[in-house]
């Protein structure tokens, strides 16, 4: 069957993310996939190749890219809220892969870099080009667009990993939107006093 392979790939993703490459056994993966262990080896010549093909099969398409056009209709602030939300959603979807990425850097630095590149690098470029456009329109200050994008996404990436991997599983995302608003506010207006806007605003329009 065609989907035997997929069942194995899915099971391996789940178990690798929970127990790591060395911690997950082929017997266990096969069991989780509802398949004989031998079948696993008939599809993938070794555990290592299973790992590689699993990674490759989950190597993802450029997302968040088609999102750029519709940002034109939003205020700068709301656009960032939108981007942050989309980014966090994307990270949630890929949480297993991100966990593996964190755990297995020492085993597969190249593969991991590739994931990181696909996962973050792409959206960094997208966001940077958005910033560049806004700067050319005189709507933003002068700052390095790529660095700015990394700073912005870095805040949220760090928030995500902290929530996913460190914080107790209770009340997850309870304060997600509040965090997004606060972070976006800081990014847009800064923190130093002596200017018009302040944080506890009501410029809503999203959510």
Partner DNA sequence: TAAAAATGTAAGTAAGCGCTAACATTAATG
Partner DNA sequence: CATTAATGTTAGCGCTTACTTACATTTTTA
Binding interface with DNA (CB under 7 A):
1, 4, 24-27, 34-39, 41-43, 45-48
Six-digit token string for 92:
């949630």
Candidate list 48, 144, 204, 205; residue touching a second copy; CB under 8 A: 144
Q: Which stretch binds a second copy (CB under 8 A): 19-27, 47-55, 57-65, 66-74?
A: 19-27
Half-sphere exposure of 13 (CA within 13 A, CB side): 19
Least separation in angstroms between residue 36's CB and a second copy is 25
**Radius of gyration of the chain from its Cα atoms, rounded to whole angstroms:** 20
Does the footprint of a second copy cover residue 62 (CB under 8 A)?
no
Residues that contact a second copy, how many (by CB under 8 A): 56
Judged by CB, which is closer to DNA: 34, or 109? 34
**Residue 63 · residue 90 · CB < 8 Å:** yes
Does the footprint of a second copy cover residue 205 (CB under 8 A)?
no
Q: 110: buried, middle or exposed (CB in 10 Å: 19+, 13-18, 0-12)?
A: exposed
CB atoms within 10 A of CB 197: 11
At 100 the three-state DSSP class reads: helix
Measured between alpha carbons, how far is 187 from 76 in angstroms, rounded to an integer?
Answer: 11
Does the footprint of a second copy cover residue 151 (CB under 8 A)?
yes
**Residue 64 · residue 123 · CB < 8 Å:** yes
Candidate list 6, 154, 172, 173; residue touching a second copy; CB under 8 A: 154
Binding positions for a second copy, rule: CB under 8 A: 18-20, 22-23, 76-77, 99, 102-107, 112-113, 116, 131, 138-144, 147-148, 150-151, 153-159, 162, 165-166, 179, 182-183, 185-193, 195, 197-200
């Amino acid at each position: 069957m065609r989907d035997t392979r997929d069942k194995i790939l899915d099971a391996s993703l789940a178990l690798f993310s929970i127990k790591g490459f060395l911690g997950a056994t082929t017997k266990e993966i096969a069991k989780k996939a509802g398949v004989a262990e031998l079948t696993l080896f008939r599809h993938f010549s070794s555990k290592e190749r299973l790992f590689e093909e699993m990674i490759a099969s989950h190597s993802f398409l450029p997302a968040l890219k088609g999102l750029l056009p519709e940002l034109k209709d939003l205020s700068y602030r709301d656009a960032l809220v939108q981007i942050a939300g989309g980014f966090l959603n994307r990270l949630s979807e890929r949480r297993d892969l991100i966990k593996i990425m964190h755990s297995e850097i020492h085993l597969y630095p190249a593969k991991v870099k590739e994931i990181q590149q696909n996962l973050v690098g792409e959206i960094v470029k997208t966001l940077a080009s958005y910033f560049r456009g806004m700067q050319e329109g005189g709507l933003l200050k002068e700052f390095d667009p790529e660095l700015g994008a990394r700073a912005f996404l870095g805040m949220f990436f760090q928030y995500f990993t902290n929530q996913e991997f460190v914080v107790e599983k209770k009340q997850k995302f309870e304060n997600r939107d509040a965090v997004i608003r606060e972070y976006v506010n800081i990014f847009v207006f800064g923190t130093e006093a002596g200017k018009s806007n302040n944080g506890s605003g009501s410029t809503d329009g999203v959510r």
